[in-house]
Structure 1
Amino acid sequence: MTEPTWRHDVRTADGHTTIELTGEIDMSGSTRLQDLLDQAVNAASAVTVDVAAVGFIDSTVISAFVRANNTAATRGCRFVVVNPSAQVRRVLHITGVLSTLAEDTA
């Protein structure tokens, strides 16, 4: 079994879950990420995903974020991605989802 290329830390308080992601996330970790996001949006009233320490994402990660955002919207849960690194911000911008997922798109 290969070593994961990313880690996460989850904190929950007063119905708000913060997920801090670290590392490089690609299709090899996308199922684990989707499960993590699904669990969070189905249990919290607000979910913040901090990607400050993420250096790389691919289309499967974007898909996981969009799916989580859609599920959250259906449930009345707030979902936001914060602190994207320059590389992650660029990928989110190029794919057209930055303004949908990120709190501060400036």
Structure 2
Amino acid sequence: MTENEHHHRIVVHRSLRDQTRLVLIGEFDMAAWHVLQEAIHAAVATDSGRQFVVDMAEVTFIDCGTVNILLLERDQAAATGSALSIVNPSDQVRQVLALTGTQSHLLAPATRSRLLLATDGPAFVLRALREPADPSSPGRNGRGGHYRPVTDFLVEDASASMIDLQGRAAGQTVGARLLDLYPSILSTGVFDAYVNVLETAKPYESARQGYHETVDGVLLRGSIPLRARAVDPDRLVVIWQNDNDPEPA
């Protein structure tokens, strides 16, 4: 285990299979660069030719310098016949990887959304954010446990080609709450449609879904083809097409 007085820690697990897992915990900024490099160097020197996965589920902060180190170490590991990739990225890590355009270089293939990799147009992976469990609230729709209403969605991933009505690219939306990005989905019924997809597991499709957004102080209206389907009880994939220009309301 590698740690110091700063708020970061690295735990190395060597499995019996051909894999070494480095678990990163806490904040990884300039103060952690040397520690991270040394941990990866030591692991690769000990287990050359193995698969190295960097588990970042418990990382609360990451800067661009850390991303650059991971890219460099990935290339150096490849030179020794090893492979290095990120698994279980936290929301903050996903956001920085999206901003730097390095998802496809660093994320393990199983970590990336296969649907987004296969999608040419704009698409989101959304994760439901729910109220805390209320013991007095009964189960719903035949599901066990207590019902927890969806209060918002987190943009967990976005297709690389995505540009929204306000000109935001994927890196500017990953890690954000959907209602902060698009508050009008409450009044247009889109939010309720997404919740219903999770509740019923039935896909939603609209040939012309209406929307309205304020861009640079101007209210714009339009309609787009929109599809959504659940991929698990708390996640859905949303795919749309920007096939026309919005008009002032």
TM-score (norm 2): 0.40
Which residue pairs with 2:64 in the alignment? 59
Q: Tell me, in whole angstroms, the C-alpha distance in 1 between the residues paired with 2:23 and 2:85.
A: 12
Picking from 3, 24, 27, the partner of 2:27 is 24
Aligned pair partner of 1:87 in 89, 92, 96: 92
Q: Secondary structure at the match of 2:5?
A: coil
Count of matched residue pairs: 105
CA offsets 1:21-77 (integer angstroms, 9 cap, x no match)? 110110011111111112222332111110000011012211110111001111110
Distance in 1 separating the partners of 2:19 and 2:46: 9
- Match of residue 105 from structure 1: 112
2:76 is aligned with 1:71:
yes
Q: Are 1:6 and 1:24, in contact at CA under 8 Å, matched by a contact in 2?
A: yes
Q: Percent identity?
A: 34
Which of 48, 57, 64 is matched with 2:53 structurally?
48
TM-score (structure 1 length as normaliser): 0.90
- Which of the pair is proportionally richer in helix? 1
Match of 2:170? Answer: none
Runs of 4+ with >3 A deviation:
none
Structure 2, unmatched stretches of 5+, are 114-249
Question: Which of 8, 11, 17 is matched with 2:10 structurally?
Answer: 8
Larger Rg: 2
- Alignment root-mean-square deviation, CA: 1.4
